[in-house]
Structure 1
Amino acid sequence: MSTEPAAGVAMEQVLKGLRVLDLTQNVAGPYCTQILGDMGAEIIKVERPGSGDDTRAWMPPAWGEQSPVYLAFNRNKKSICIDLDAPEGQEAVARLARSADIVVHSMKPGSAESRGLGFESLRQDNRKLVYCAISAFGQSGPMSGLPGYDPLMQAFTGVMSVTGNDGEAPVRVSVSLIDMGSGMWAAMGILAALRELERTGEGSCVNTSLLETGIAWMSVFIANFRASGTLPRKLGSAMTMLAPYELFAAADGWVFIAAGNDRLFTQVCKALGIDHAASDPKFAKNADRVKHRVELHRIIEDAMVQMPAAEAVRRLRACGAPCSILNDVGQMLTDEQVVSAGIVQPLQVSEGDDHRVVGIPFTLNGRRKTEHVAPPTLGAHTHALLAEAGYDDAAIRRMIEHRFVG
């Protein structure tokens, strides 16, 4: 099979020509708009004068004098500073929205509307506007006005209740899976709305929330609870309905073994020299192995601790058994497979540096966007964007002097 990229549009051309007015901060919203920017849209990031996005201050650690978190979610954007609490600032945003194709915000429900920046207000001057609101608990319900962050929502939606080891205190998933997941859903909703715009000529309002993302990630646990009536318990690295499907200690590390069916379990036993387990009636079928999970774990681990993790992986893969060494971040980044994927890419933040960021996690026609513009300094594009929106130099100077913009 040819490894040459297929003919067709490049990633950065997909949304070229579309302008996104980004009124978000922290992680979920900026990740959404960064996805759109990676696909070629022009992203205008609206930030508070003086401080900007909260993540600009999320340090240590730092890359130079900048927050790595801010750098991770704000490439390929322009920055304009506008005070959304000032009528003059609200008017400036409304004026920018007239030439925007997409508006994304992460304000609490009602906040945008109280500033004259809700969907119905903005679409009066722009009937084709695609509008996306990302909130914590959603647009309705008794908790809709409350703030929310990723770990808070992990607690509320039950993600924390199934994370960690049985008998120990709950722990959060360290990855910001609810924030980043919400950004992904928002981006998908926006793409769906753009398709609807092509069909009808009318813009749409997309709503998503951290709550809905958390519930979505709990789909399997909800289904199992409905089927059994039994609350799920924490199983560490294991999975409720499969065994062996978890981490095992080796002589010098850890190895995850994923035997998703009876055939693969037989291959695991063959690789580790424990054929007696494969022929034991207690482990004949997956349901049997789940029932006798603790005993099976001991048998497999007794064999695993006799060999280095790399040797265990070599044997398992030679027999076709899915497995992986437990890598830390440094090991993962230098792994040959990760390097060959080309998803960890350079981002020149300042002259001569070698910062790296994670690119968009898919290719289009065999291509992935590889050249990125570093996240902007605070307010770097304020004057130019206001001038483009029709403000003259005197008006811009007056707004800056009164700190309506910055």
Structure 2
Amino acid sequence: MSAENIKTAKAQSNADALAGLKILDLSRVLAGPWCGQLLGDLGAEVIKVESLNSGDDTRAWGPPFLEGESAYFLGCNRNKRGITIDFSSADGKSLLAQLIPKFDVVLENFKTGTLEKWGFNQAWFETHAPMVVRCSITGYGSEGPQAGLPGYDFILQAESGLMSISGSENGEPSKYGVAIVDLATGMMAANAIQAALLARYRTGKGQLVEVSLFDTATALLANVGNSHLATGKDSGRYGNGHPTIVPYTTYRCSDGMIALAVGNDGQFAKLAAYLGNPEWANDERFKTNAARVNNRAVLDEHIKNKISRYSSNELINELRKLGIPIGNVNTVKQALASQQTQAKNMVLNVQHQKIGSFKTLGTPLRMHGTPSSIRYAPPLLGEHTDEILSEYLNLNTEDLSELKNKKVIA
């Protein structure tokens, strides 16, 4: 942090963990905004910069809308103040050049080379903003034959192999229900930014951090990718099942569907005994996890027939007493209304200038010494432009009026 920012952070040392950290968020859509929101939840001051007329693309992604504000945008832009600048103009680029050195982090997800085209290459940062950490989120990074192509979560799920391992066993490849590559990339970026900030304490210098959807999607293959590298075999689809753990899938009870995850042989023996077949635990086909994987179809059929006789609540209550992981397969509505969700404050009411009070998902970041908080609702387009430019660049009313007349800001 700059000396001024460190002073601010010390004054707020009992507040949020990242209090005093200043982030200029030039990103839009999901990966970058998700990163900015995570850092904002931890206390960073995040200034979201949007284009003059339409702003972040997700402002138009709906329905649903709340009083004209898209639920999508509202879900990934809290704890930010917002401004608009036209970067296509010389005056807009000048404002950006003045703003960047005032911040600790610049977060952007333009196509590779966009900032450089505007004159903000790494040499510029080293000369004019050497303490700033620049985080660049792109589709494919700056290397390889696809460098420079725009990145979309859906395409990366397809290209990375993630879709090939999702969906029913005999069905088509399927994408995840949310933009998992975007979300994970945002989390990777938040981690990398904080690592670069820690490194800055040692080196006294900022650095360029590159995070790409391609790299993240590939990394998300995790154990499945490593299994291929170990064997040379391609992975198939297992529906709700697990490639290397059995039983680990969904089953239908008499009144609904449950998810069962038996992680070791001890748990399997308890399950077998509860279902009335203790001999399964000594059956050579089932006594070890490796044997159960090799005899997946037979065992799943046995368990399916047994479980169909139970009600879901009965089965869940009894198996949890035995230490066997099990849960209902909820709809989103059921999940967000659950007692556990309420107890964890994972649905919150936020006060918005235009909407009034609206419900939003809570933050998963639990800091017991420096609690995370929601300080700002997602901003209206350009809501804080005058306020921010006055605060950071000391622009007066006359300066702001001139920029508005030139259509540099709104």
If the length of structure 2 is used for normalisation, what is the TM-score? Answer: 0.93
1:238 correspondence with 2:241 = yes
Any residues of structure 2 matched to 1:185-200 within 5 Å, and which?
A: 185-200=188-203
- Counterpart pick for 1:394 among 395, 398, 403: 398
1:176 correspondence with 2:179 = yes
Structure 1: runs of 5 or more not aligned: 1-8
Change (3 A) 1:343 1:284: same
Bigger mean CA offset, 246-255 vs 357-366? 357-366
State the AA in 1 paired with 2:81.
K
Question: What's the offset of the Cα at 1:10?
Answer: 7.6
1:95 correspondence with 2:121 = no
Separation in structure 1 between the aligned mates of residue 106 and residue 262 of structure 2, nearest angstrom = 46
Q: What residue number does 1:212 align with?
A: 215
Q: What residue number does 1:167 align with?
A: 170
Contact 1:90/1:117, CA 8 A, preserved across alignment: no
Q: What residue number does 2:149 align with?
A: 146
Q: What residue number does 1:313 align with?
A: 316
Task: Say which SS state the counterpart of residue 283 (structure 1) adopts.
Answer: coil
Task: Say which SS state the counterpart of residue 223 (structure 1) adopts.
Answer: helix
User: How many aligned positions are there?
Assistant: 398
Task: Say which SS state the counterpart of residue 134 (structure 1) adopts.
Answer: strand
Any residues of structure 2 matched to 1:326-405 within 5 Å, and which?
A: 326-350=329-353, 353-365=356-368, 368-388=371-391, 389-405=393-409
Separation in structure 1 between the aligned mates of residue 203 and residue 295 of structure 2, nearest angstrom = 57
Separation in structure 1 between the aligned mates of residue 178 and residue 276 of structure 2, nearest angstrom = 36
Q: What residue number does 2:288 align with?
A: 285
Contact 2:25/2:47, CA 8 A, preserved across alignment: yes
Q: What residue number does 1:4 align with?
A: none
Contact 1:256/1:325, CA 8 A, preserved across alignment: yes
Across the aligned residues of Structure 1 and Structure 2, the Cα RMSD in angstroms comes to 1.8
Separation in structure 2 between the aligned mates of residue 405 and residue 44 of structure 1, nearest angstrom = 15
1:229 correspondence with 2:207 = no
Partner deviation per Cα, 1:185-221 (whole Å, 9 max, x = no partner): 1111110111111112111111101111101110211
Change (3 A) 1:392 1:348: closer
Structure 2: runs of 5 or more not aligned: 1-11
Partner deviation per Cα, 1:26-50 (whole Å, 9 max, x = no partner): 0000011111111211111110101
1:126 correspondence with 2:154 = no
Q: What residue number does 1:304 align with?
A: 307
Q: What residue number does 2:73 align with?
A: 70
Separation in structure 2 between the aligned mates of residue 10 and residue 230 of structure 1, nearest angstrom = 52
State the AA in 2 paired with 1:328.
T
1:44 correspondence with 2:47 = yes
Q: What residue number does 1:325 align with?
A: 328
Separation in structure 2 between the aligned mates of residue 258 and residue 112 of structure 1, nearest angstrom = 47
Any residues of structure 2 matched to 1:245-260 within 5 Å, and which?
A: 245-260=248-263
Partner deviation per Cα, 1:206-248 (whole Å, 9 max, x = no partner): 1101111101110211111122221100101111111001111
Bigger mean CA offset, 141-150 vs 395-404? 395-404
Change (3 A) 1:10 1:74: farther
State the AA in 2 paired with 1:399.
L
Question: What's the offset of the Cα at 1:358?
Answer: 2.4
